[in-house]
Amino acid sequence: MKTIANKNVSMDLLEKYERKAKKRFGQNFIIDPSVVERIAEHSGQGGLCLEIGPGLGSLTQQLAKRYDEVIAYEIDEHMVEILSESLEGYDNVQVLLEDFLQADLSYLEDKPLSVCANLPYYITTPILFKLMELKAKRITVMVQKEISDRLTAQPKTKDYSSLSIMMQYYFSIKTVMKVSRESFHPRPNVDSIIIQLTPLESTMPFNEKEFFEFVRKCFQFRRKTLVNNLKTIDKDIDYAKTLNKIGLDERVRADYLTLNDYLNLYGELYA
């Protein structure tokens, strides 16, 4: 069986089916065998693995060697046509022609699984939110470096945001490896990062959806102080005194607060 991530093999498949990468689907095909091998290795092995956007099947091929079953969602019908050839012989792979963001995942909700994917950069965040519906043991994904920086950012840094707080509440996040833009066809304008997210058993005494909506509002104007952002919330409260009460300076900005700071603030305002 030929290695799909080999540049010549990938180019031959595209030429044979008269296809090319579609920008609207964020397609960039991995043409470095060592990259897909290492991603699959980091993801784990055994049981069920879910993949989003298999493309030509370069990563799928490696996952099929490590897992008992692989379910891959592909939105592009032309890629599904190619996959029928490139993954021929891998009977443990099921390719579904469907938009993952619109897919009904209820059949997977009670199944322990791993997730491994080269995510389309333009819909990375919505996909990560949808994956929260599942009982994934771990999520190993390739993302744009900018997204990785935001997900792993710490307070008092330019990349720290409400997304950082939310994702770090739900997951332990670590950087696994960097991937050069030279490993793709077509070559993207940015480098990529492989990150691994492991679900945490986090709890809070508040409605999580309402709490994180509150945090998002606190970040809506990053250059303004937190007090000014809080004033957009319809409450007749002296927010400066509230911040002082929980040990925070009234001139503090949203990106200086930790998750615990926000929990304390939310408790003062809504408990």
Say how far apart CA 104 and CA 91 lie, in whole Å: 23
User: CATH number of 7-199: 3.40.50.150, 3.40.30.10, 3.40.50.720, 3.40.1390.20?
Assistant: 3.40.50.150
Compute and round to an integer the Cα radius of gyration of the chain: 21
Query: Once rounded to an integer, what is the mean pLDDT over residues 7-21?
Result: 92
Query: Once rounded to an integer, what is the mean pLDDT over residues 94-106?
Result: 97
Residue 122, pLDDT > 90, answer: no
The class (CATH top level) of 208-270 is mainly alpha
241 confidence band (pLDDT: 50, 70, 90): very high
Residue 159, pLDDT > 90, answer: yes
List the chain domain ranges.
7-199, 208-270
Residue 145, pLDDT > 80, answer: yes
Can you give the pLDDT at residue 112? 94
Mean residue pLDDT across the chain = 94
32 confidence band (pLDDT: 50, 70, 90): very high
